[in-house]
A and B are shown apart, each in its own frame.
Chain A
């Protein structure tokens, strides 16, 4: 399956979607306040649709955002809902939500997504220093 690799900018996150069975890695990190959220996230959602047709035994998505605006929060939910579908279809799914250890708001944002979607979540704090 094709690999998505998008470099991060000051308003768009770095995205890696690589389902290579040897060494799979899926991560969205950095900042997200794109001018056009839909056109930024559409290719990611499409990739997930394709991926869902023939997923790996275990799907792990790392979300390590330092900032996202409210428009992006809606699209992040869309991504998580795709993973929920996958999970409900009987596949093993894990979302690893990374947040800076001094950022309560980001920690809470992860907890809220965990409440909204039926997908196993793991909260991972990291230190920025």
Chain B
């Protein structure tokens, strides 16, 4: 936030060689603006005292924030933005970028190996299965967002369609499984055909493809009328659809259980073998001691597999004509149309594919939590996934994965840092600041590195030799 407000006064500073007066004046103006921006909302807090609204004052916080901004601005004006400073010679890529390029071939396999071995590391590190529960839960959460990020990446990163209602497909997937697995007629029907225990043990595995297919279908139904719209309109309409689905889930109480949601959704099984302590259970059959952690570790591998399927499909699709059409569409829609591409179909395929992966992730969410409610599918989730895609670099698989891990894992780590509590007092909860940081990071990344943190991108097509394309050389068409 400090950086955010430090910019407005613009590059007025220092025209002559004695830059100090100019820098001081500029810093003063910045401070004035910062005071105007922060003063009302940070300086006063509305508090309810005895049922009536009153004000609490926080002049110290404002003073500190404005002080930081003024000092920062002054220092920047005298050093980095100083007109006397010789311009930096830009010869090739920076050493950091070269370093990243050098290790990048080893990065992906290393990351994959870490992801596969993570449950074992976690168990070893914490010294026991049940102690590693927290880490495994965190791993599942991160991988869910990696998968959602990769799914949305198809729509936003590859096809260049801004989808603000991605959470709708996540919700469709989750509710498909929740409703199918808990509805009596469906259960009776399949139990009669397949046998009662068989259906009970296999429900998740039958519903998973159904959830994906259903979400993809919804993607088509919603996408078809709106995909002819231009970019910004599409974003708003997808946002509206996301909200409509959530409102319907809340208000259609007979069908979806309303705001209370659906509870006691059947658990996942190890391909038909339930994770129970009984004789047919997973532990007994494999000769292990029963532990509820087996199910969690299995779930970890399920979401890892689902995420990898998403990544693999995307990589393969990019090599097919449809994938090339997506990327061409992102670069220049009018050129695509003049070359005879049916843009509506191309967009629709991207939209439906992205939606399908959202549906898979939603189905997984339902089986992991055992409970779904509309509260889990708010606009915040859409915004979070979009932030992950944007920060990771639209179109970059590895970037999205890293961004998801940093955003979800980093916030979780921050929560446990004791010294933050000592600085800011006991009531400090970093998770409150998560969305604040997400929003700020989205703005910052658009301004400084619009290609995302991992901005180099593998070219889809190349002649003889595959050269990495630096982000600064790729420029998108101005639509």
User: Do A and B bind?
Assistant: no
Q: B residues near A, CB below 8 A?
A: none
Q: A residues near B, CB below 8 A?
A: none
